[in-house]
Amino acid sequence: MEHMSLDPEIAARLKRNPEGLVPAIAQQYDTGEVLMLAWMNDEALHRTLTTGRATYWSRSRGQFWVKGDTSGHVQHVKSVALDCDGDTLLVRVDQVGAACHTGDRTCFDVDVLG
C-alpha cells in the first residue's frame, strides 16, 4: 500500500503521546455503546477517514490492523471526532459482531469494578 498522509490541518490539531499515538474510542453510532479503545497514529487515522473502515496501530505487533480483517467483526466508520484538547479520538462505527478480541460485544461488559 502506498504511503498516505493525513490532512495537515487535522495533523496539526492532534496531541500525540511520545510514541506518536492517539487513543481512539470506538462507539456504536446508533446506541452509544462504548465498544473498545485502541490506538491510532497519523496514517491509521488517514486510512480510517479515507477507507471507511476502522484502522488502528497495534502497539504489541508494531503494525496496522483493520478491525475485522481477521475476525470478520468489521467496524464501518460513520464519523470521527476529536475531543476538545486534541488528545483523544471518538470513532463512531457500525460494529459487525463482537468488538472485543475475547468474542464479547464490547471490551467493557465483563469486568465491572466495585
Identify whether the C-beta of residue 42 lies closer than 8 Å to the C-beta of residue 23.
Answer: no
7-37, pLDDT tens digit by residue?
A: 999 999 999 999 999 999 999 999 999 999 9
Res 53 pLDDT > 90: yes
Q: To 5 degrees, how large is the angle CA 9–CA 27–CA 43? A: 35
Grid cell for residue 72: 470478520
pLDDT category at 112 given cuts 50, 70, 90 is confident
In the annotated binding site for Mg(2+), the residues are: 83, 85, 87
* Non-local CB neighbours of 61 within 8 Å, separated by 6+ positions: none
Domain residue extents for the chain: 8-95
Instruction: Confirm if 64 and 46 have CB atoms less than 8 A apart.
Output: no
Could you list the residues known to form a binding site, using ranges. Answer: 83-85, 87, 100, 107
Q: Class of the 8-95 domain?
A: alpha beta
Entry pTM: 0.92
Cell numbers linked to 65: 490492523
Residue 1's pLDDT band (boundaries 50, 70, 90)? very low
Q: Which residues are annotated as a binding site for Zn(2+)?
A: 84, 100, 107
Residue 85, SS3 per DSSP = coil
Q: Over the chain, what is the mean pLDDT?
A: 94
Residue 4: all three cell numbers together:
498516505
Quick count: other Cβ atoms within 10 Å of Cβ 92? 17
